[in-house]
């Protein structure tokens, strides 16, 4: 075998190895909170939020391995380099030296009452007049005015089980539930078996809550931002919105 033939063989082998590396998607470990349908559904690694993130990372050639953790644990996993990224983060959280993407998802917390009750709730402070059930850590997330109002409420509790929130409202056992509108829409259908939005009043008292992804790698963050814009302009994004029947 002469030198030119040897060079050709080496070139072919290098190309084959390079192709093999490109053909196999890199797997990233990504932390995410526990099940919160329709955003996060641990069984099957699905839900609107997870499906969207998987689709965007697929455009970058990455598969994802989700690590499910309690609320507030993602920062410790980032600090100890046990994950490459963390979902549902914002600037108020301990980023542990990580960098944040542009907002990729927005939650819409609202106060919801039965339409038949004809409750008038023009402001957060008006919640002090009603029996209210909030989501877990709502008093931390929704600010001082909310904490003061609910502290004066005849009944205020926070529940980790958001389906229980929905059940108590629909049974007329509380006046108001405070939760994300899409979570309520999803769970109320699961509880009753049909659309409940015509039967409730939605009081939009709170600003929208945009969330970002925290990355250890700044270059990966920039690449994600670019592909996220591309994905949100695609028909695939609209298909996801329709699939999970998002209201806002």
**Are 41 and 18 part of one and the same domain?**
yes
Beta-carbon count within 10 A of 135 CB: 21
Distance of CA 55 to the CA centre of its chain: 14
The H or E element that residue 134 is part of is: strand 131-135
Instruction: Examine residue 30 and state whether it is found in any structural domain, yes or no.
Output: yes
Instruction: Specify the pLDDT at position 25.
Output: 60
Instruction: Examine residue 131 and state whether it is found in any structural domain, yes or no.
Output: yes
**Are 59 and 182 part of one and the same domain?**
no
Give the DSSP letter string of 82-114: S-SEEEEE-TTS--TT-EE-S--EEE-EEEEEE
Instruction: Examine residue 56 and state whether it is found in any structural domain, yes or no.
Output: yes
**Are 172 and 231 part of one and the same domain?**
no
Instruction: Examine residue 248 and state whether it is found in any structural domain, yes or no.
Output: no
Instruction: Examine residue 173 and state whether it is found in any structural domain, yes or no.
Output: yes
Instruction: Examine residue 214 and state whether it is found in any structural domain, yes or no.
Output: yes
Is the Cα torsion angle 6, 7, 10, 16 positive or negative in sign?
negative
**Are 119 and 199 part of one and the same domain?**
yes
Instruction: Specify the pLDDT at position 184.
Output: 97
**Are 11 and 90 part of one and the same domain?**
yes
Question: What is the three-class DSSP state of 23?
Answer: helix
Residues of the chain with pLDDT under 50: 6-10, 12-24
Cis peptide before 38 (omega within 30 of 0): yes
**Are 114 and 100 part of one and the same domain?**
no
Round to whole Å and give the CA distance between 132 and 150: 7
Tally of domains within the chain: 2
**Are 21 and 94 part of one and the same domain?**
yes
**Are 70 and 128 part of one and the same domain?**
no
**Are 84 and 122 part of one and the same domain?**
no
Residues of the domain holding 127: 109-203
Instruction: Examine residue 92 and state whether it is found in any structural domain, yes or no.
Output: yes
Instruction: Specify the pLDDT at position 79.
Output: 85
CATH number at residue 238: 3.40.190.10
Instruction: Specify the pLDDT at position 2.
Output: 56
**Are 83 and 165 part of one and the same domain?**
no
């Amino acid at each position: 075998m002469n030198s030119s033939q040897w060079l050709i063989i080496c070139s072919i082998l290098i190309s084959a190895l390079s192709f093999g590396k490109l053909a196999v998607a890199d797997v990233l470990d990504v932390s995410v909170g526990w099940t919160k349908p329709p955003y996060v559904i641990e069984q099957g690694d699905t839900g609107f939020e997870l499906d969207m993130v998987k689709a965007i990372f697929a455009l970058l050639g990455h598969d994802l391995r989700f690590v499910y953790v309690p609320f507030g644990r993602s920062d410790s996993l980032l600090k100890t380099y046990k994950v490459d990224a963390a979902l549902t983060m914002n600037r108020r959280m301990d980023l542990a030296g990580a960098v944040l993407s542009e907002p990729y998802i927005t939650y819409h917390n609202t106060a919801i009452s039965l339409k038949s009750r004809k409750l008038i709730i023009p402001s957060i402070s008006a919640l002090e007049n009603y029996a209210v059930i909030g989501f877990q850590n709502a008093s931390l997330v929704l600010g001082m005015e909310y904490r003061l109002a609910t502290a004066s409420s005849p009944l205020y509790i926070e529940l980790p089980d958001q389906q229980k929130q929905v059940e108590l409202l629909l049974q007329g056992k509380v006046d108001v539930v405070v939760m994300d509108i899409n979570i309520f829409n999803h769970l109320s259908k699961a509880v009753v078996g049909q659309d409940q939005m015509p039967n409730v009043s939605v009081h939009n008292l709170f600003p929208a809550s945009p969330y970002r992804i925290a990355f250890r790698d700044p270059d990966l963050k920039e690449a994600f931002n670019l592909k996220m814009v591309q994905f949100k302009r695609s028909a695939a994004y609209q298909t996801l919105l329709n699939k999970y029947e998002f209201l806002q």
